[in-house]
Structure 1
Amino acid sequence: MKQQSTVVILGSTGSIGTQGLDVIARHPERFTVTGLAAGGAHVELLAQQAARFHVPQVAVFDKHAAAPLRDALDRVGAHYTSVQAGPEAVIALAGCGAGVVLNGITGSIGLEPSIAALKAGSQLALANKESVVAGGHLLFGAQTRDNQINPVDSEHSAIWQSLRSGTHAEVSRLVVTASGGPFRGWKRADMTGITPEQALNHPTWHMGPVVTINSSTLMNKGLEVIEASRLFDIPPDRIAVTVHPQSIVHSMVEFCDGATICQASPPDMRLPIALGLSAPDRLDNVAAACDWTKAASWTFEPLDDEAFPAVSLARHCLAASEKHTAVLNAANEQAVHAFLEHRLPYLGIVDTVKAVLDEMDAELRGAPLFASVEEMSQLELEARRRADDLINKQ
């Protein structure tokens, strides 16, 4: 029998967090949930999670959510659960020394909790790609041992699994797959009137709003190219993107002898989440496998860079500097929120990000790496301010 592991889940009420708890519920002999953290918008759900898994401590980013959360915990009989509030409380919970910390927070606010988990010696199951995109060297520098980060994004988990087939020196290139999102096959001229409701209607995956919009613009794929390059130490010119609308092949590794190894499964995030929690072991009863008794077709198409320029923009930032990628991420988050609030047209999302990068390019080039998370946060604030200025002018 495998040893039981303690788990802290960050972003427990979001898509990654709820699916992570579903995995844990199927394997109570393997995991004990010792802490949950969330933004604070869904206190009833957070209280129900704490009660179901008998969680001793929870933390919320929003300090105003603490009192309603305590009331919700009382209603479900979870009087034993302590409540802490504020960003510092979430960071402290991440750094409590649990066996595994699953970080499902969206946005670069997930970086400090990721660092805290690594410094505390926890295994980090990382679904927060912005930790790598905005402050990768700060994240990697916090590791206390080798192989401390388990990728949870489906694409990076697929690459991570496929890399077991050879050495780093034998890797020719990585191939990251993209579903193409709801507007696959559209031309740029067709996209002028796209609404948030249309963009949120992803054909394959059910995710949070920011990630879903990023998937529709393919900015998510651009961020994943950055993350893959830094996680697996592969230069960007050896990372390809292919559009695979069935979302069965989650990414591939091509080796120097011409062999290509892929990880394939129906689109279910519980599979990479489960491996992120249990690696190097695999759990049973996680997700359905492909049904090989039924006819099926898998198709692969080239990426249309003219209609979806976000990937090329991300590649440019990756080649330029870590500060460029931090600005890319911050400006994009700002533009996505403006689009969701009907303050920015759909095509304005990536256009705004590019305009911010153009404005800041000269001051970013040749700049040293971030000395601290605080320095990164200051640059992000400036990028967000400039994005807001451009958005308000529209």
Structure 2
Amino acid sequence: MKTVTVLGCTGSIGCSTVDLLHQAGEGVAVKALVGGRNVALLAEQARALRAEQAVIADEQALPELKALLAGTGTVVSAGRTAVIEAAGVPADWTMAAITGAAGLEPTLAAVRNGRTVALANKEALVCAGDVMLRAVKEARATLLPVDSEHNAIFQAMADRQTDQVEKIILTASGGPFRTATIGVMEAATPAQALKHPTWSMGAKISIDSATMFNKGLEVIEAARIFGLPEDRIDVLVHPQSVVHGMVQYTDGSLIAQLGSADMRIPIAHCLAWPKRMATTSPRLDLAAFGTLVFEAPDPVRFPALRLARQALREGGAASTILSAANEIAVEAFLGGRIGFLDIPRLVETVMNQLGAPAINDLQAVLHWDSEARGAAQGYIAKLAA
């Protein structure tokens, strides 16, 4: 019996994880489910999986959650402290899928258990990479990558040594504006930017895909996970989203992982690792695709990759600042306060303004995260004026 906790259970990754837990059947016992604001869905999941705990981040939703789970035996709580405490409850396997900087402390709490953490929170390694990896080492925890691209690299590497790897290649769909002109992108609306051509994702990740900031964050994350320098991590635009990642070896071999555009596949790989589990995910029909396309990303229309590589080279808090500024920029774009191409402009301005100060612990990470958010809000205010 494997004990499991799902952080961010009501989000896209969380719902896919819950679906797989249903497929796993009696082989798992759910210690805690942690959701954000969707009380009804959290209660439904907790009842179906007989979760020991159900935690909602929104404290105002606590009375409703209590009412929905009355008589079930599930312990109910709410608020930031409760989320972190639930993450710290010992479990064999934890899905860390709380998006943004809000997921840092819960993910760190899960890591300190010294068990297995399936990481779907990019910011954990982007914003607090050194802090998180140090905690993993000290707790002797196992960190498994959930992002389809990093999971693909993880599978393609298998037990091979990093010194045999020439480079790794992350693939990107190119998003809804892969072939759009600068003019079209300048005038893009949130509705247009949210229409991802192949993946079904939350709003933040969908916008990040449209700007290619998601791929920039993944370059930083890949450097942390696989211990590779920035110049050994490549990105290729691959609109079919069939090949999720590739590893180029020193002998010239190129090993790729392919699969349907279904996040349940990498999640299942992490859930069953080091074995595999059967899933109902669609099987890949290569004959139906016929042709697979690969192209280099356009650095002019998509400056996010350049900014991410700059942050990775500068080190310190540079990637923390990039991620925080991007979060604020995405919120502002979705709220109609800035334009689509203002997102990378804002991020670059904040990065140049704050530089790359040193960070040694989580408090420093949170400090520079806050500073970057403040600087980003200042930029937005200037645009409005």
Scaled to the shorter chain, the TM-score interval is over 0.9
C-alpha distance in 2, partners of 1:268/1:140? Answer: 28
Deviations 1:300-329 (A, max 9, x none): 011001000001110000000130000000
Identify the match of residue 375 of structure 2 among 376, 386, 389.
Answer: 386
- Deviates further, 139-148 or 17-26: 139-148
Where structure 2 has 5 or more consecutive residues not aligned to the other structure, the ranges are: none
Match of 1:202 among 169, 180, 196: 196
Match of 1:349 among 321, 336, 343: 343
Q: Residues 147-162 of structure 1 correspond to what in structure 2 (within 5 A)?
A: 148-162=142-156
Structure 2: how far apart are the matches of 1:188 and 1:226?
Answer: 26
> Would you say the 8 A contact 1:274–1:286 is kept in 2?
no
Residue equivalent to 2:101: 108
- Unaligned stretches of 5+ in structure 1? none
Tell me, yes or no, if the aligned pair for 1:192 and 1:347 is still in contact at 8 Å. Answer: yes
Q: 1:34 to 1:165 in 2, by over 3 A?
A: closer
Aligned partner of 1:14 in structure 2 is 11
- The sequence identity of aligned pairs, in percent, is 41
164-173 or 91-100, larger mean C-alpha shift: 164-173
Partners of 1:102 and 1:125 within 8 A in 2: yes
SS at match of 1:9: strand
Q: How do residues 40-59 of structure 1 correspond to structure 2 at under 5 angstroms? A: 41-59=37-55
What is the aligned partner in structure 2 of residue 221 from structure 1?
Answer: 215
Corresponding residue for 1:211? 205
- 1:293 to 1:303, Cα distance in 2 relative to 1, 3 A: closer
1:186 aligns with 2:180: yes
Residue 265 of structure 1 aligns with an amino acid whose one-letter code is G
Q: Which amino acid aligns with 2:272?
A: S
Contact 1:135/1:322 (CA < 8 Å) preserved in 2? no
Aligned counterparts of 1:349 and 1:312: Cα–Cα separation in 2: 14
Hey, what's the Cα distance between the residues in 2 that align with 1:145 and 1:73? 34
Match of 2:267 in 1: 273
What pairs up with 1:211-250 in 2 under 5 angstroms?
211-250=205-244
Q: What's the RMSD between the two structures over aligned residues?
A: 1.3
Residue 35 (structure 1) aligns with: 32
Residue 334 of structure 1 aligns with which residue?
328
2:361 corresponds to which residue? 372
Q: TM-score, normalised by structure 1?
A: 0.94
Deviates more, 1:219-228 or 1:51-60: 51-60
1:240, 1:276 → 2: CA distance? 24
Alpha-carbon offset, residue 358 of structure 1? 1.1
Name the structure 1 match of 2:91: 98
Structure 1 CA distance, aligned partners of 2:253 and 2:94? Answer: 34
1:136–1:322 Cα contact (<8 Å) kept = no
Alpha-carbon offset, residue 371 of structure 1: 2.7
CA contact (8 A) 1:275 1:283 kept: yes
Q: How far apart, in 1, do the equivalents of 2:162 and 2:289 lie?
A: 35
2:354 corresponding residue in structure 1:
360
Structure 1 residue matching 2:247: 3-state secondary structure: strand
In the alignment, what sits opposite 1:81? 74
Q: In the aligned structure 2, how far is the partner of 1:295 from the partner of 1:117? A: 40
